[in-house]
Amino acid sequence: MKLLTEKYKPANLKEVVGQEKQLKELLKHVKEKTPVIIWGSVGNGKTCSVYALANDIGYEVFEINSSEIRNKENIERIVGNSLKQESLFSKGKIILIDEVDNFSGVKDRGGIQVLAKLISKAKFPVIMTANDPYDKKLNDLKKKCQLIKFDDLKNYDIVNFLSYICSKEGIYAKREVLEDLVKSNRNDLRACINDIQVFVNKKEITLNDLDLLGKRKKEETIFNSLSIVFQEDKGINVLNVFEDVNANLDECFLWIEENIPLEHKGEKLRKAFDYLSRVKVYDGRIKRWQYWRFLVYMNALMTIGINSLKDGNMRFVNYKRSMKPLKIWQANIKNAKKKSIAEKMADKVHTSVKQSIKNFEYYKNFIDKDVSNELELNDDEISWLNNF
């Protein structure tokens, strides 16, 4: 199933939601080959606008994610080469560097300065996207660029676009429902479209569905986080993907473990489970030594480790909740009587409960009526024992 965000991304500037003034300014700078940083909130159309503009003027887009150019050498090699090479079929070309404000850490040191130097000599238009262009580390870059702020999208425009998507997909949704959806996602168009994806097969969205979606916010956040970990090119920034998830690391582990087979096969499947096995090793060390610093390594293996296996293909995957906690609960219910009898036996034979459970197969052969009375077994326990 194709993602709705891909299916309904704008093919030209007329299809871009909002940003009319900004798009005119962006087109002007592209024609003048002036480097530009477009910035604004998540999900307001920065990246898709670049592709729409390129389609309008017959240019191709060479996209580089900031995670691909973590040091000066990579910047000089990847960005430098892209600025020198002519486009295919002698078309024009736009160099798009996504999330340029994600440069951080020792490996990136000096990278911004090199990038600023390269784009100042570029023969092709360079467009960079950012959420926050006022980070001090971008100062050298901003001196060489024009800044264009993409506004937060208006409720009215988002609702109209969502209504269009629903009509195309054969989904019935009242306007008040779509307005509530926009409000709950804080005007993030991409998040709204992802929510509609959940109801594609239902063919109707009601206020009750949105209430259910709200109650399932934890799982929906997990869903988005899993999509990032398994499919998106985020580099080191994927480390923080579970920070806003209303679930602890153990729960996130179970989600990843359950859904790895939906994403990977063969050697990548083996590597993914190898990363998770190392997570359990560190988890065991934390429990034994109480050295909580190992949580950092657990998180890195679950995020950067799994993310390193991505194949670059964005697609919709119906991630599933792990059934392991339910199976453990069912096993506990099933063994509750056995544990109860073993606890009473342990007290009488002066051994641990663990040892009593281990030797239960032997003990049960000696539990007659007199022993049952001595252990003070109730009727349910006696009945369970007779059927064991």
Which CATH number is 138's domain given?
A: 3.40.50.300
Residue 312 within a domain: no
Residue 249 within a domain: yes
Residue 314 within a domain: no
Single residue among 129, 149, 169 that ends a domain in this structure: 149
The answer to whether 176 and 207 are in contact (CB under 8 A) is yes
**pLDDT tier at 220 (50, 70, 90 boundaries)?**
very low
Check residue 388 and give its pLDDT.
Answer: 66
pLDDT digits (tens, 9 = 90+) for 104-127: 543 445 678 888 888 888 888 999
Residue 230 within a domain: yes
Residue 318 within a domain: no
Residue 234 within a domain: yes
User: Does 228 share its domain with 294?
Assistant: yes
pLDDT digits (tens, 9 = 90+) for 140-177: 888 889 999 998 888 889 999 999 999 999 999 999 99
User: Does 209 share its domain with 226?
Assistant: no
Residue 246 has pLDDT above 80, yes or no: no
User: Does 19 share its domain with 127?
Assistant: yes
Single residue among 179, 200, 215 that ends a domain in this structure: 215
Average pLDDT of span 185-195: 86
User: Does 258 share its domain with 332?
Assistant: no
Residue 350 has pLDDT above 70, yes or no: yes
Residue 316 within a domain: no
Report the distance separating Cα 10 and Cα 48, nearest Å: 7
**Mean pLDDT taken over the chain:** 83
User: Does 115 share its domain with 141?
Assistant: yes
User: Does 11 share its domain with 86?
Assistant: yes
Average pLDDT of span 51-62: 92
User: Does 172 share its domain with 268?
Assistant: no
Residue 315 within a domain: no
**pLDDT tier at 348 (50, 70, 90 boundaries)?**
confident
User: Does 60 share its domain with 98?
Assistant: yes
pTM score > 0.75 for this model? no
Name the domain count of the chain.
4
Q: Which domain holds residue 379?
A: 324-386
Backbone angles phi, psi at 92, to 5 degrees: -70, 170
Residue 89 has pLDDT above 70, yes or no: no
Stronger pLDDT, 87 or 165, i.e. the higher one = 165
The answer to whether 26 and 20 are in contact (CB under 8 A) is no
Single residue among 262, 280, 307 that ends a domain in this structure: 307
User: Does 329 share its domain with 238?
Assistant: no
Check residue 167 and give its pLDDT.
Answer: 93
User: Does 202 share its domain with 246?
Assistant: no
User: Does 44 share its domain with 160?
Assistant: no
Check residue 209 and give its pLDDT.
Answer: 84
Average pLDDT of span 347-357: 80
Which CATH number is 197's domain given?
A: 1.10.8
Check residue 305 and give its pLDDT.
Answer: 93
Pick from 52-66, 210-224, 249-263: least confident? 210-224
User: Does 8 share its domain with 138?
Assistant: yes
